[in-house]
Structure 1
């Protein structure tokens, strides 16, 4: 018997010192993809590239039982203000190392060696899955379409992260 689609509540954070709701194309792309797929947008915010502000919002979402996944966009580069990985890693119970590796492998097809500047990462904290993507719309499209979409769909075979979410099994 085929599995039924289960919508997941997903929060989206754009990490940027300059973007606004009008100019946040990456955050909008993710929100559109989430809703077009049938998932629920739990919340969407823009946060300055400051590790403590990032942690404050992400910690609130991790503690919120109604949020099952979090996607951040921005702050994963190597410049002085890029601090998303440093903000997120201490919050993780487990890091999903393959996510960043596969993201960079797929990105290599489009941007060649520039992909080494991406510190995309993923992990789980308190049963909430986190995905940290670069700030470009292309990177968000790649991350969602090639990786996150299938992993948050309980129907994806042979396995997916959605079926492991403790909050969906209760």
Structure 2
């Protein structure tokens, strides 16, 4: 099997989902600072924003939107912020998990480790998860700006860069021009 061309960058098509009861009930997408932050970070990394949604903590609404994005031929990555914490109304993790074909356990593990360095034991309450569904890579992270920045800069963006070796996730998303990595 040919090795990927690690000198070539492949921009990915990304959708962003913000999960927030307060913002969605007020239909306040203008005040979605974490969603805006994610948009800015992915665009500064030369990826394409192809869809964006703001939904309440309702696992059926979340699953409906995620299912459409997973079934889409164009959306390769979904970034979810919010609804992952240890609170009785949060349901992002419960909505997402049945949709995944494969989990990426290292994302949650590493995110909590990095968060522990900043927050101490409060990092235990993060439900950050990632996985693949129908060739769509999905990351769910807390909704705070600090958590989104940490996840994007330390974990997600490097793995969405086809130049990252020895492996990255670009080869695993649908319609990827990159070849599978030979790790």
TM-score, normalised via structure 2 length: 0.90
* Structural RMSD (CA): 1.2
- The aligned counterpart of 1:157 is 165
SS at match of 1:167: coil
Matching of residue 148 in structure 1 with residue 152 in structure 2: no
Matching of residue 86 in structure 1 with residue 126 in structure 2: no
- The aligned counterpart of 1:14 is 18
Deviations 1:65-92 (A, max 9, x none): 1000001000001111100000000000
- The aligned counterpart of 2:181 is none
Deviations 1:10-43 (A, max 9, x none): 0000001112222211111000001111000011
- Distance in 1 (CA, whole Å) between partners of 2:51 and 2:33 is 16
- Distance in 1 (CA, whole Å) between partners of 2:124 and 2:34 is 20
Deviation of 1:44 after TM superposition, in Å, equals: 1.0
Matching of residue 5 in structure 1 with residue 13 in structure 2: no
Matching of residue 122 in structure 1 with residue 122 in structure 2: no
User: Is the alpha carbon distance of 1:111 and 1:169 closer, same or farther for their aligned partners in structure 2, counting shifts above 3 Å?
Assistant: same
C-alpha contact (below 8 Å) 2:129/2:139 kept by paired residues = yes
- Distance in 2 (CA, whole Å) between partners of 1:99 and 1:2 is 22
Matching of residue 59 in structure 1 with residue 67 in structure 2: yes
The aligned length equals 170
| 133-142 or 156-165, which deviates more | 156-165
- The higher-RCO structure (CA 8 Å, 6+ apart) is 2
Question: Of the candidates 37, 44, 68, which is equivalent to residue 36 of structure 1?
Answer: 44
- Distance in 1 (CA, whole Å) between partners of 2:139 and 2:20 is 16
Where structure 2 has 5 or more consecutive residues not aligned to the other structure, the ranges are: 179-183
Where structure 1 has 5 or more consecutive residues not aligned to the other structure, the ranges are: none
SS at match of 1:106: helix
